[in-house]
Amino acid sequence: MGRCAIAHQHGASRTNRDHAWIQAGHDGHTVQGCQTMIMGGLGCRLEASPEAMIDVVRLAIERWGLPHGFAVPAFRQNHAAVQAVAQLFKLPVTVVDLLSLASAQPRCLTHSERARMTMGFGSIAEGCALAVLGPHSQLLGARLAGDGVTCAFAMIKAGSLSP
């Protein structure tokens, strides 16, 4: 059995997404639809180390299982810690636009006053995990934090996607 993925249908934008659920078999061909999609949201301070991010992601995977990919805000997409996680776990990273991140904030479980003051958002990791999956997604739990890094996992069931 292969891994599930969200495929963005032709013409979809980051703020108005039409998702098609696919599941790739071991030969890469599309097979039956997916039941649940899990994505990890990542957040970090500018000085955060790749090792700290890898450690917190490993803890999240132990708790919630391997996600289908990771989501980060545009201002952290090229951070060494994000790139290290993507390379180690061989998973894609989706960039979340700021409007989507802002829209997800009310559904977040934890809020950092420091992050809100410095970045404009009180919850980066949780917000990214929720934003990438859309308005019907839900967090699997509160974000995990390490040395200057955060990680949160969210999920959505295939039937919950809006057309």
pLDDT digits (tens, 9 = 90+) for 79-99: 999 999 999 999 999 999 989
For 24-73, the pLDDT digits (tens) are 333 333 334 567 899 999 999 999 999 999 999 999 999 999 999 999 99
CB proximity list for 129: less than 8 A, separation 6 or greater: 39, 40, 41, 71, 137, 139, 152, 153, 154
Asked whether the predicted pLDDT for residue 162 surpasses 60, the reply is: no
Q: How far apart are CA 157 and CA 9, in angstroms?
A: 18
pLDDT for res 16:
32
Q: How far apart are CA 119 and CA 81, in angstroms?
A: 18
Stated pTM of the model: 0.77
The pLDDT tens digits for 105-144 are: 999 988 777 766 676 666 889 999 999 999 999 999 999 9
Tokens of 135: 């308005």
Strands 138-139 and 149-157: antiparallel
Instruction: Please report which confidence band the pLDDT of residue 4 belongs to, taking 50, 70 and 90 as the band edges.
Output: low
Is a pLDDT exceeding 70 seen at residue 104? Answer: yes
